[in-house]
Amino acid sequence: MMTLSPGHPNTLILGGAQSASGDQCTWAKDPANQSGSPIWSMDGSNCAASATWDGQSTGYAASSNGQVWAFDMSTGKILWQSSYPTDPSGESGGYPEIYYSDGLVAINVWSQGVLNFPGFSVFRADNGQQIPNLTADTGDLQDGILATCSYNAGVWNVYVPSFS
């Protein structure tokens, strides 16, 4: 079961399970009928490892194989899809963490295998366009503030993004 941060709407529970056939890899259910059939489901090419939402109608999810996408929370329809770097050593430190704040979506992937791995990627929430100058070794996004860090520099850079 994935949890949405911050919280999730009372009308949906998001979950995911990768089956051999890829069926119902990411799904949404009614909390009142959790044992029933999903309201919607996505195929095996869209297996979410973590998810968040914009507080309104759009969800954002990241897979452990480097895919990120936005989807309609009511229908599961994919609105855009993009990709982010994954640890080339195959020694990922766990699933990606995904954040939404003020029109941005950020993904933090911890790497145990590669020093200075660019594991923090930032995307525009409206169209999935990656913002390359905000890629870093690690980072965080909350309350409209974006913080990035490079292991080489050892310094955090803090941004308050503003774009239309």
Tens-binned pLDDT, residue by residue, of the chain (164 aa): 444 444 455 567 777 765 555 455 777 877 777 777 888 877 766 777 888 888 888 989 888 778 899 998 888 889 999 988 776 665 554 568 888 988 889 888 765 555 555 578 889 999 999 887 776 767 777 776 777 776 665 666 776 665 54
Write out the two tokens for 14: 């998001």
Contact 62, 46 (CB under 8 A): no
Determine what percent of the chain falls in helix, strand and coil, rounding each to the nearest 5. 5, 40, 55
CATH number given to 4-159: 2.40.128.630
Q: How far is CA 62 from CA 115, 151, 161, in A?
A: 22, 24, 21
Q: pTM for this one?
A: 0.75
Greatest CA separation for the chain: 51
CA distance 73 to 40: 9
